[in-house]
Structure 1
Amino acid sequence: MLQATPVDAARSFLTGFETLGARLGVTVLVLVVVAGFGWLLFPRLVEGVQDSALQWAVSGAVLRAAQLCLLVGGGLSLVYLWGYGPALSTLADEATNDQELRVLGRAIGSVAVFFAAYAVARYLSNAVANLGKHAEWLTDHQEEILLRTAQLFLFGFAGIVILGIWDTNLGGLLVGAGFLGIVVGFAARQTLGSLIAGFVLMFSRPFTIGDWVEIGDQEGIVTDITIFHTRLENFDGEFVIIPNDRVSDRPVTNRSQKGLLRIRVDVGIDYEADPERARTVAVEAISECNEVVDAPPPQVFPKAFGDSAVVLETRFWIDHPTPPRKWKAVSAVVTSVKSAFEDEGIKIPFPQRELTGRAENGGFHVRGEAGPAADSGEAQPEPRSND
């Protein structure tokens, strides 16, 4: 004698209620159990393990799976409770010999798969959004790409399942899709290149939305990143759209990623001034600017011998770098250093030229000064500057 399985025992138990009152009572009990466990108890248990983004995603998936199992189990229990189990079994047996019922079953199955995929896609959207809130490493761009990729694979899998329900020859379909892919690949090489580059940018993360970047000869703030292109807003208020394949093969300078930006400003001092003293005064003046951070500290170095001055290079850092913050810091440093040099008597010289005349012409002489030309009564040439 075969031992009864738990499923057979459950069927016998559910079909044993013959009175209307008993069936109504068991129906209410089943609904209370499904609602209580699925939407009251399980969510509270899941909240206790949501310490990280990964645990949150895993626990959320387990919760939805448990709720789905409860709904399916509760629905089947009610079907057998109200005596429709044998009818469904008979209908399924007849459907194997009836072509119309078989087509109807395939249609219902296809619709069910589609709506199931749609429901899972909605769940993925919420799951990725919540994952982005818990995971600081996930940017908005990566969140969008992750969602679109997951939905693409989901609906692709659902399409394969629906084709399998209708007994479609997937081998021939894949061969045709392969030839079509080759043709489309040759016709849209640049578009596919931008698409692949978009995925590469998603994983390499050279910049994010809001960063101040320089891509090739274009500079601006990143306002949008899609699979196909990157959009910048330059400092003239113009929007520049760069295909991702051009972004990937050009040098990218990200001035915002580190959170600090070093700025250099040159200043000249007179040759008679002491460079060491001027350096000390400049460092103190820069340190007093609120726009400049204290660490790393500002630095000043004698850089070169200019035509009219010894050139000092000032180096200082700003945080949260943006073009307005850079220009504000440069303005503050120039004003502060100039005022400090004036207070200390350190001269910032104007450009100067030293002129000499040709010896055979007697050189240049100041008007009224005695010289060979004055003694001879000839007119004296006036000095001219090449400036």
Structure 2
Amino acid sequence: LSLFAVVGLGLLTVWGTELRGLLVGAGFLGIVVGLAARQTLGSMLAGFVLMFSRPFTIGDWVRVGDQDGIVTDITIFNTRLENFDGEFVVIPNDKVSNQAIINRSQKGLLRLRVDVGIDYADDPDHAKQVALEAISDLPEVVNAPPPQVFPKSFGDSAVVMEMRFWIDHPTPPRKWKAVSAVVTSVKEAFEAEGIKIPFPQQELSGRAETGGFRVQDVTESTAEPVEPREQD
């Protein structure tokens, strides 16, 4: 190839062809091709790394960067996800390998969290026990590891309690089904036990006047007439 290149350049010189413009154009073309090849080779190498390290497989529920969905295809160059709106997202493998990957399917279990507020007048220990019983009886929730409920924080209108529970074979539909079942079951259990889930509210208070003076409006009908003064 080198010999052919030298011969070709020699012939162009003999024929009087201007080589400076040709060489500049070839240089720019080489830069463009090199950048494209670099990106392609980067995606290809990342694809081989993903295939050997196997951070996820087809059918896994993963989050790659800000993309969340089910893995539908893995090639040497890119990874395809189907998100929860039915859209297919194609991500180059070099971007996949450079971002955080969360695999929710690999362990076979997924822990979920739901917050609930109880009135300040209610007993947190009693509310905790009622919530635990309501969650443990649900078929959508596994009991190993067992569910957990504990007071989390003081809210503006309620004591906030966090409910933690696990589901098996995690998928988006199973997640939302379990969350819906927990919310419904705990609400019904609280209502049966008289535990109040308060609405957001604000408490206004006033104080008595301790001094100062009051400005009173005087209407035109009650105001006393003012006598005009003579000018000196």
Partner deviation per Cα, 1:266-311 (whole Å, 9 max, x = no partner): 0000001110111011001000110001100000010000000000
Question: Aligned partners of 1:294, 1:300: CA distance in 2, in Å?
Answer: 13
Higher helix share: 1
Q: From the superposition, tell whether residues 360 and 189 of structure 1 become closer, same or farther in structure 2 (CA, over 3 Å).
A: farther
Q: What aligned pairs does 1:207-218 form with structure 2 within 5 A after superposition?
A: 207-218=56-67
Match of 2:15 in 1: none
Larger relative contact order, structure 1 or 2 (CA cutoff 8 Å, min sep 6): 2
Match of 2:85 in 1: 236
Contact 1:185-1:192 within 8 A present in 2 as well: no
Q: Does the alignment pair 1:285 with 2:134?
A: yes
Match of 2:172 in 1: 323
State the Cα distance separating 1:356 from its structure 2 match. Answer: 2.8
Question: Aligned partners of 1:249, 1:356: CA distance in 2, in Å?
Answer: 55
Question: Aligned partners of 1:282, 1:321: CA distance in 2, in Å?
Answer: 22
Match of 1:346 in 2: 195
Question: Aligned partners of 2:201, 2:113: CA distance in 1, in Å?
Answer: 25
Determine helix, strand or coil for the equivalent of 2:182.
helix
State the Cα distance separating 1:187 from its structure 2 match. Answer: 3.9
Match of 1:274 in 2: 123
State the Cα distance separating 1:352 from its structure 2 match. Answer: 1.2
How many pairs were matched up? Answer: 185
Q: TM-score normalised to the size of structure 1?
A: 0.45
State the Cα distance separating 1:188 from its structure 2 match. Answer: 1.1
Question: Aligned partners of 1:301, 1:269: CA distance in 2, in Å?
Answer: 12
Q: Does the alignment pair 1:261 with 2:106?
A: no
Question: Aligned partners of 2:36, 2:105: CA distance in 1, in Å?
Answer: 38
Q: What aligned pairs does 1:19-38 form with structure 2 within 5 A after superposition?
A: none
State the Cα distance separating 1:358 from its structure 2 match. Answer: 6.8
Among candidates 139, 143, 146, match of residue 297 of structure 1? 146
Partner deviation per Cα, 1:225-264 (whole Å, 9 max, x = no partner): 0000000010011110000000000000000010000000
Question: Aligned partners of 2:68, 2:137: CA distance in 1, in Å?
Answer: 30
Question: Aligned partners of 2:44, 2:207: CA distance in 1, in Å?
Answer: 70
Question: Aligned partners of 2:208, 2:66: CA distance in 1, in Å?
Answer: 52
Q: What aligned pairs does 1:182-261 form with structure 2 within 5 A after superposition?
A: 186-261=35-110
Q: From the superposition, tell whether residues 187 and 336 of structure 1 become closer, same or farther in structure 2 (CA, over 3 Å).
A: closer
Contact 1:230-1:242 within 8 A present in 2 as well: yes
Question: Aligned partners of 2:58, 2:208: CA distance in 1, in Å?
Answer: 67
Q: From the superposition, tell whether residues 341 and 193 of structure 1 become closer, same or farther in structure 2 (CA, over 3 Å).
A: same
State the Cα distance separating 1:203 from its structure 2 match. Answer: 1.0
State the Cα distance separating 1:193 from its structure 2 match. Answer: 0.4
Determine helix, strand or coil for the equivalent of 1:188.
helix
Determine helix, strand or coil for the equivalent of 1:303.
strand
Higher strand share: 2
Determine helix, strand or coil for the equivalent of 2:85.
coil
Q: In structure 2, what residue type is equivalent to 1:302?
A: P
* Structure 2: tracts of 5 or more residues without a match: 4-30, 217-232
Identity rate, percent:
80
State the Cα distance separating 1:185 from its structure 2 match. Answer: 5.1
Q: TM-score normalised to the size of structure 2?
A: 0.75
Q: In structure 2, what residue type is equivalent to 1:294?
A: N
Determine helix, strand or coil for the equivalent of 2:121.
coil
